[in-house]
Chain A
Amino acid sequence: MTVPAPAQPAVWGFCGTCERWQLSAAWGSPPACPECGSLPQPLESWADGTGRLTLILELALSTAGGQPAG
Chain B
Amino acid sequence: MIRNAWYVAGFSAEFAPDSITGQVITGRPVVLWRTRQGRAVALDARCAHKRFPLWEGRLLAGDVLECAYHGFAYDPSGKCVAIPALHETGQHIPRTARQRAFPVAEQDGVVWLWPGDAEPASHPPRTVEIGSDGWDTINTEPMEVAANARLLIENLFDLTHFYPLHAGNIGSLADARVPVEIERGRRDGLPYLKTVRRRHSFTLPPMTRDRFGLEVADQLQEHTMVGPGLFHVVVTVAPPGRLGTGDEQGFVLYQSITPRDESSHVWRRSTSCRSGTTWAASPGKSLVEAIVAGAPTVIEQDRWAIEQQQKMFGYPDDDYREVHIKTDGAVVMARHLLDEMEAAEGTAGPAQVRSQRSRQSSDAR
Chain A positions within 8 Å of B, measured between CB atoms, are: 12, 14, 16-21, 23, 41-42, 44, 49-59, 61, 64, 67-68, 70
Q: Is the CB of B177 within 8 A of A57?
A: yes
B180 interface neighbour in A21, A23, A55, A64, Cβ under 8 Å: A55
Q: Is the CB of B167 within 8 A of A70?
A: yes
Q: Is the CB of A68 within 8 A of B163?
A: yes
Rounded to whole angstroms, the CA-CA distance of A18 and B361 in the bound complex is 5
Known contacts: A19-B323, A21-B329, A21-B332. The answer to whether A57 contacts B358 by CB under 8 A is: no
Chain B positions within 8 Å of A, measured between CB atoms, are: 159-160, 163-164, 167-169, 171-173, 176-186, 205, 323-329, 332-333, 336, 358-362
Rounded to whole angstroms, the CA-CA distance of A53 and B185 in the bound complex is 12
* Apart from A55-B182, A61-B173: 7 A-B pairs, beta carbons within 8 A: A21-B332, A41-B326, A53-B329, A55-B326, A56-B179, A68-B168, A68-B171
Q: Is the CB of B358 within 8 A of A23?
A: no
Known contacts: A68-B164, A68-B171, A70-B167. The answer to whether A57 contacts B179 by CB under 8 A is: yes
A18 interface neighbour in B178, B205, B360, Cβ under 8 Å: B360
Q: Is the CB of A55 within 8 A of B176?
A: no
Rounded to whole angstroms, the CA-CA distance of A21 and B327 in the bound complex is 10
- Nearest 4 interchain pairs by C-beta: A68-B167, A50-B185, A21-B332, A55-B180
Rounded to whole angstroms, the CA-CA distance of A19 and B363 in the bound complex is 11
Q: Is the CB of A55 within 8 A of B179?
A: yes
Q: Is the CB of A70 within 8 A of B205?
A: yes
Interface of A is mostly: loop
Q: Is the CB of A52 within 8 A of B336?
A: no
B184 interface neighbour in A14, A42, A50, A68, Cβ under 8 Å: A50
Q: Is the CB of A59 within 8 A of B360?
A: no
Q: Is the CB of A49 within 8 A of B358?
A: no
Q: Is the CB of A52 within 8 A of B183?
A: yes
Known contacts: A50-B185, A68-B168. The answer to whether A14 contacts B360 by CB under 8 A is: no
Neighbouring B residues of A57 by C-beta, 8 Å: 159-160, 176-180, 326-327
Neighbouring A residues of B164 by C-beta, 8 Å: 68
Known contacts: A68-B164, A70-B168. The answer to whether A52 contacts B182 by CB under 8 A is: yes
Rounded to whole angstroms, the CA-CA distance of A53 and B193 in the bound complex is 12
Give min CB distance, A56 to chain B, whole Å. 5
Neighbouring A residues of B185 by C-beta, 8 Å: 49-51
Would you give 18 A-B contacts (Cβ < 8 Å), ordered by A?
Answer: A12-B329, A14-B329, A19-B324, A21-B332, A21-B358, A50-B183, A52-B183, A54-B179, A55-B181, A56-B179, A57-B160, A57-B178, A57-B179, A58-B326, A59-B173, A59-B177, A64-B163, A67-B167
Neighbouring A residues of B323 by C-beta, 8 Å: 19
Rounded to whole angstroms, the CA-CA distance of A56 and B327 in the bound complex is 8
Neighbouring A residues of B186 by C-beta, 8 Å: 49
Rounded to whole angstroms, the CA-CA distance of A57 and B195 in the bound complex is 13
Q: Is the CB of B173 within 8 A of A67?
A: yes
Rounded to whole angstroms, the CA-CA distance of A54 and B179 in the bound complex is 7
Rounded to whole angstroms, the CA-CA distance of A12 and B179 in the bound complex is 17
Q: Is the CB of B327 within 8 A of A55?
A: yes
Neighbouring A residues of B177 by C-beta, 8 Å: 57, 59, 61
Give min CB distance, A12 to chain B, whole Å. 6
Neighbouring B residues of A12 by C-beta, 8 Å: 329, 332-333
Q: Is the CB of B168 within 8 A of A59?
A: no
Rounded to whole angstroms, the CA-CA distance of A64 and B205 in the bound complex is 21
Rounded to whole angstroms, the CA-CA distance of A52 and B179 in the bound complex is 13
